[in-house]
Amino acid sequence: MADFVKIGTKAELPADGEAKEFEVNGTTICIAQVDGSYAAMENMCCHRGGPLGQGVVLDGKVICPWHGWGFDPKTGASDQDISMGVKVYPIKIEGDDVLVELP
């Protein structure tokens, strides 16, 4: 069963058009702000393992800093290979806490 866990506070969230890494329970999560909305996704690029949270947001996609692969922050789908993608996680803000639902 999945549970929502606190990964940080609102003040720690990335600015619009940016991504950031958050560590929780030994797992690194990428949080991105795209057009004013937040998305949580697996931090490791499925192409070569690049850290998505160290990438940028461009044209509504999270871009891996290693080889430029783009991922839809809502679905995790890759722009370069439709058979590949990353996991996405539900995210919510309660008061000042940022919570992500992890398996």
CATH number where 26 lies: 2.102.10.10
Q: How far apart are CA 16 and CA 35, in angstroms?
A: 6
- Look at residue 84 in the predicted model and tell me its pLDDT: 87
**Number of domains observed in the structure of the chain:** 1
Supply the pTM of this predicted model: 0.91
The Cα 93–Cα 71 span in angstroms is: 23
Q: Give the span between the Cα atoms of 66 and 47, in whole angstroms.
A: 10
Which range marks the domain in which residue 63 is found?
3-102
**pLDDT digits 0-9 by tens, 10-35:** 999 999 999 999 999 889 999 999 99
